[in-house]
Amino acid sequence: MLDFITKIFGRDSNNQDASKNLAKERLRLVLVHDRANVSTELIEDLRVDLIGVISKYMEIDESALEVNLNSEDNTVALVANIPVVKLKRQYDKDAI
């Protein structure tokens, strides 16, 4: 009963924690992109291009695809988490 009441009045600590963590992650990404001198538009273009290329060979979950830049010391790494639904047995070479 208490869970129901807290959900109605918006005091669900799980939602607050999730929102807080999402905000922290977004801020971290902005800072990494800023340090690497890479715009968010470039990252989004890269994401779209990755989806296009990888989709030729496998079916992926586009909504869960994550593309990030991680910065450590003086290096920047491109990290992509691409959930694969299934591999395609054949692909159209002419579509490339």
pLDDT band at 6 (very low <50, low <70, confident <90, very high): low
Residue ranges making up the domain that contains 87: 2-95
According to the model, what pLDDT value does residue 58 have?
A: 92
- Does residue 36 contact residue 54 with C-beta atoms inside 8 Å? no
- Does residue 77 contact residue 70 with C-beta atoms inside 8 Å? yes
According to the model, what pLDDT value does residue 74 have?
A: 74
According to the model, what pLDDT value does residue 93 have?
A: 67
For residue 57, which of 87, 93, 94 has the smallest C-alpha distance?
87
- Give tens-digit pLDDT for 70-86: 777 777 788 889 999 99
According to the model, what pLDDT value does residue 79 have?
A: 86
According to the model, what pLDDT value does residue 69 have?
A: 78
Q: Output the CA torsion 36→40→46→51 (10° steps).
A: 140
Q: How far apart are CA 83 and CA 91, in angstroms?
A: 19
- Does residue 54 contact residue 82 with C-beta atoms inside 8 Å? yes
- Give tens-digit pLDDT for 16-67: 777 787 787 777 666 665 666 677 788 888 889 999 999 989 999 998 888 8
According to the model, what pLDDT value does residue 27 have?
A: 76
Total of domains in the chain: 1
According to the model, what pLDDT value does residue 17 have?
A: 74
